[in-house]
Amino acid sequence: MTGVYLDYAATTPMSPQVIEAMTQAMKNHYGNASSLYKIGRDSRHIIEETRQLIAKTLNANPADIIINSGGTEANNSAIVNALDQFADRGKHIITSQAEHSSVYQTIRALEAKGYPVTYLDFDEDGHIALEALKQAIRPDTVLVSIMAGNNEVGSLQDLQSIGDLLAEKDIFFHTDTVQTYLNYPLNVEALHIDALSMSAHKLYGPKGIGFLYYRDADKHFVSYIKGGNQENKHRAGTESIPQIVGMKTAIELANKHQKDHQAHLLDLRYYLLDQAEKRGLDFQINGPQDAELAHILNLYWPGHASDIQLIKFDLADIYLSAGSACTAGSLEPSRVLVSMYGEDSPRIQESLRVSFGQPTSKAEIDQFLDRCEENK
């Protein structure tokens, strides 16, 4: 890799093991998994092995795992399907102002069609208030969609308290876990999660592959994409075995190295903050002051316009962002930071997101800080 890459919350490079596993799959596993002959059955076996592995990481029923194109499809299909499932009970949705665009824009589109929506704010630590959620619940509330870990400021929501409350009220609980999966323990039974999403490219796997967990999918999930009977009739389309192998390999590696990986990320986070202080860089943390999602660090740098700094970093081959990659190029301010600090806060235009990964080194952090010193 050339340059210094500090945008792992946007995407991760595929690990060498994933690339090798996918290459072998492209060579050896070309059979259509819907075919009855041996090479088709071999492909089917790979899919079901992957489904079993995913289910084990979540304490879920394998039949409730739907392999798909990733987080955007998973979020869209879960939200739309849940509203159809409970259409006879109501239409009210509760979500937050700081959701990923694949949740937020889906719900905005539904709101335009007449679905009533309550949007909860984040506090300055990047959390929703449980009391605000309680107050927002109405007799016709059928869906709550709150992300597990925020992709811009790295805050974790209290999934246990949210899940306990919604289970008591018998309200469907969907959570976007794209940043959180295997960075934080997830047990769909203990947390009362009814649907969650994942993208392999946040986990050193390939882009274009992920999964949706949907509780009792055989009974309640109607295929969002019409066509054949793939994915137990939950998602039409011939399965991409190389991508599925890549996701499976990425999950296996993340499971194996989870503890060491988290320790590495924390070490990098505290090193950056410590060295920045020693260099006199006036950084302030947006969001939780203590690490929650260790790989995401959102920094307010007073007097330094984000867009100008990103251009300077890019010219120096240092790659980071000022918010979600899915809204890059937009002139609109970050919804996350607006929710936390208000639209008039200087933090909206003077913040940078640094996110670390397994390949990140302290030498790369030093290069980033060197450039910050030059620009201050």
d(CA 4, CA 161): 39
Segments of 30-140 assigned E as strands: 65-68, 92-96, 117-120
Residue 372 among the catalytic residues: no
Phi, psi for 123 (deg, rounded to 5): -85, -175
| Bridge partners, residue 354, by sequence | 297
Quote the Cα angle for 150-153-156, to 5°: 45
Q: How many CB atoms lie within 10 A of CB 215?
A: 20
Q: Of 117, 35, 105, whose CA–CA distance to 76 is shortest?
A: 105
d(CA 308, CA 195): 39
d(CA 141, CA 138): 5
Q: Which residues are CB-contacts of 39 (< 8 A; sequence separation ≥ 6)? A: 29, 30, 31
**Residue 333 DSSP code:** P
Which tokens in the block code for residue 99? Answer: 């959701």
Query: For tokens 């007073």, what's the residue?
Result: 302
**Residue 30 DSSP code:** -
Among residues 26, 132, 167, 326, which one is catalytic?
326
| Bridge partners, residue 212, by sequence | 66, 197
Cβ(257)–Cβ(349) below 8 Å: no
d(CA 201, CA 210): 8
For the annotated catalytic residues, the residue numbers are 326
